[in-house]
Structure 1
Amino acid sequence: MTNPPTPTPGPRPRPAAAPAPAPRWDPSQYLRHEAHRTRPFLDLLARVNPPAQPSRIADLGCGAGNATALLADRWPTARTTGYDNSREMLATAARYATPHLDFAYADAATWAPAPASYDLIVSNALLQWIPDHTALFEGWLDALTAGGTFAFQVPGNFAAPSHTILTDLRNSTRWRNRLAGVGDRAGAVEDPGTYLSLLTSLGCETDVWETTYLQLLPGTDPVLDWVKGTALRPVLTALADDEEASGLFTTEYAALLRKAYPPTPAGTVFPFRRVFALATRP
Structure 2
Amino acid sequence: MLEWNPALYRRYEDERTRPAQDLLARVPLTEASRVFDLGCGPGNSTELLVHRFPCAQVVGTDNSEAMLVSARERLPQARFEFGDISSWRPETPPDLIYANAALQWVPDHETLIPRLFAALAPGGVLAVQMPDNRQEPTHRIMREVAAEAPWANAIGDEDKIRTELLGIEGYYDLLSSDAAKVDVWRTAYQHPMASGAAIVEWVRGTGLKPFVDRLTPQLQASYLAEYERRIDAAYPPRADGRRLLAFPRMFIVAQRKA
Q: TM-score range by the shorter chain?
A: over 0.9
The corresponding residue for 2:27 is 48
Deviations 1:100-144 (A, max 9, x none): x11100000010123x52000000011110111231222222221
CA–CA separation in structure 1 for the residues paired with 2:196 and 2:154: 28
The one of 203, 206, 228 aligned to 1:254: 228
Shift of 1:209: 0.6
Supply the AA of the counterpart residue of 1:69.
E
Give distance in 1, aligned partners of 2:12 and 2:217.
25
Q: Which residue of 1 aligns with 2:210?
A: 234
Aligned counterpart in structure 2 of residue 104 of structure 1, from 62, 81, 99: 81
Bigger Cα displacement from structure 2, 76-85 vs 116-125: 116-125
**Aligned pairs, number:** 256
Q: For 2:201, what is the secondary structure of its paired residue?
A: helix
The 10-residue stretch of structure 1 (64-73 or 175-184) with the greater mean CA deviation from structure 2: 175-184
- The one of 17, 21, 24 aligned to 2:3: 24
Deviations 1:221-241 (A, max 9, x none): 1110111101111123212xx
SS state at 1:145 partner:
coil
Answer with 1 or 2: which has the greater Rg: 1
CA-to-aligned-CA distance 1:173-202 (integer Å, 9 cap, x gap):
321111122573565212111111111023
List alignment gaps of at least 5 residues for structure 2: none
Residue 35 of structure 1 is matched in structure 2 by 14
Q: Deviations over 1:64-107 (max 9, x none)?
A: 111101100111110000000011111111113344x1110000
Q: Percent identity?
A: 36
TM-score using structure 2 length: 0.94
- Are 1:204 and 1:281, in contact at CA under 8 Å, matched by a contact in 2? yes
Contact map agreement 1:24 1:237 (CA 8 A) in 2: no
Counterpart selection for 1:88 from 62, 66, 74: 66
- In structure 1, distance between residues paired with 2:171 and 2:43: 26
- Structure 1 portions without partners, runs of 5+: 1-21
Deviations 1:27-57 (CA, angstroms, capped at 9, x unpaired): 111111111111111111111121x410100
1:280 equivalent in alignment to 2:229: no
Equivalent of 1:270 in 226, 245, 248: 245
Displacement of 1:24 after TM fit? 2.1
**Alpha-carbon distance between aligned partners in 1 of 2:44 and 2:93, rounded to the nearest angstrom:** 23
Mapped to 2, the partners of 1:113 and 1:181 lie a distance apart of 34
Match of 2:229, as an amino acid? A
Is 2:133 the counterpart of 1:133?
no
CA contact 2:184–2:253 (8 Å) conserved in 1 = yes
Tell me if the contact between 1:206 and 1:278 (Cα under 8 Å) persists in the aligned partners: yes
SS at match of 2:182: strand
How well do the aligned residues superpose, as a CA RMSD in angstroms? 1.6
Partner of 1:16: none
Q: What's the TM-score once normalised by structure 1's chain length?
A: 0.86
Q: Which has the higher helix share?
A: 2
Which stretches of structure 1, 4 residues or longer, exceed 3 Å deviation after superposition?
182-187
Q: Secondary structure at the match of 2:42?
A: coil
Q: Is the 8 A contact 1:183 1:235 kept in 2?
A: no
